[in-house]
Structure formats: structure tokens, C-alpha cells
A and B are shown apart, each in its own frame.
Chain A
Amino acid sequence: EPEVTQTPSHQVTQMGQEVILRCVPISNHLYFYWYRQILGQKVEFLVSFYNNEISEKSEIFDDQFSVERPDGSNFTLKIRSTKLEDSAMYFCASNRGAQETQYFGPGTRLLVL
């Protein structure tokens, strides 16, 4: 069964550094998403992406964040200058159509020191 994959599984970085989190969505999917979950809190929507542009973003997704689909398979989330409060699990998701079921990856645990 096709799965969403994410790398790395864990990332430790220093405050102020840039990080890039990578996702490989399911191959025939067209809509891509990033969510995050701070430890002990709810899963929160960050951004959705379709046809090489952002279709929706939350208030969390400020200028420090960006997304890209650099090739036909990867979908990345970049945080330009990490803050302590960016420490969280980051989940990528994808679906074939906007109204179809979203499937999530296993997540990247980001720790900012």
C-alpha cells in the first residue's frame, strides 16, 4: 500500500538555523499539506499546496516558513530561522483530490535548542 514518507525522522538544530523537512507524498496525489503538533497539544494545520502554489495557510505559517515542490516527488517545508517554539512533530499529508481522504506521513520530530 502506498505511503507518505518523511525524512529525517528526527532533527536537532540550533536556534536561528535553517531546517528543511522533506516529504514524499503518495505518487498520484496532487494536494499536499503540512501540519505540526507541539508536544502534548493538538495537531495544527500549517499549509496546503496544489498546482505549485499555496492554496491555504494558517496564521502559524508566517514569513519564516516556505514550501516547495522542487521535483516530481518531493515536497519540502523550510523554516528559515528556527525558534525554540518551532520544536514539534511535523506531519506531511497528501490526497488525490481536495475532497478525498488525506493520508499522513510518520512525521519529523524537530528539536530546536
Chain B
Amino acid sequence: AQSVTQLGSHVSVSEGALVLLRCNYSSSVPPYLFWYVQYPNQGLQLLLKYTSAATLVKGINGFEAEFKKSETSFHLTKPSAHMSDAAEYFCAVSGRGTSYGKLTFGQGTILTVHP
């Protein structure tokens, strides 16, 4: 069984400030981990993924995430927020073997960026 917890349903930052979106996971097997972004009235876009290679993963739009097995975390960061980053962000986990392809999503975090 696997699950994802995103701490904070809403995060608000000023433009240019650090963005930190928290994600903790639970998985009985080594997981694949993902961050997706959903802009208003749009589908999901893959930001980045962890697949057991480098623990620090770089994605699109300047985002990155670090896999920390000891903390079962996969927090998403961006050094400097831009107005265009305002969206909802979802962390997701997938297992391997029989769980392959089945994504379990967190509840989502809405990011607001203030000028």
C-alpha cells in the first residue's frame, strides 16, 4: 500500500521568494515519486520525477525536489517564485511490480504568488 501526504493545502509566497511545497510518502516498496502541476482549467503537467537515480531531481520551470529516504520526503522547491507559478501542485507515488502505473496522489497544494 502507498500513500502521500502534502502538508499545507495552501501556500502563499511573494514574487522572488523561496517556494517550498512539502510531500511525505508511505510505500512498502522503493517508490517512484512525481510532482505534477495543474493550472486553472487545465490538465496535469509533469514537473519532475524520482526513479531511484539521483536523489536531487531537477524539473521544468526551475523546480527541483530532493528524495530523502530517511525522512520519507520528496519536497518541491524553487529558489525564486514567479507570478506564473501560481497553480495547484500534486505529489504522487507509484510502486513497482503489480503497483506499476498506478499513481496515488496527495491532496494538492495551491500556490499563490503575491507581487
Q: Do A and B come from the same complex?
A: no
B interface with A by C-beta (< 8 Å): none
- Give the B-binding residues of A (Cβ under 8 A): none
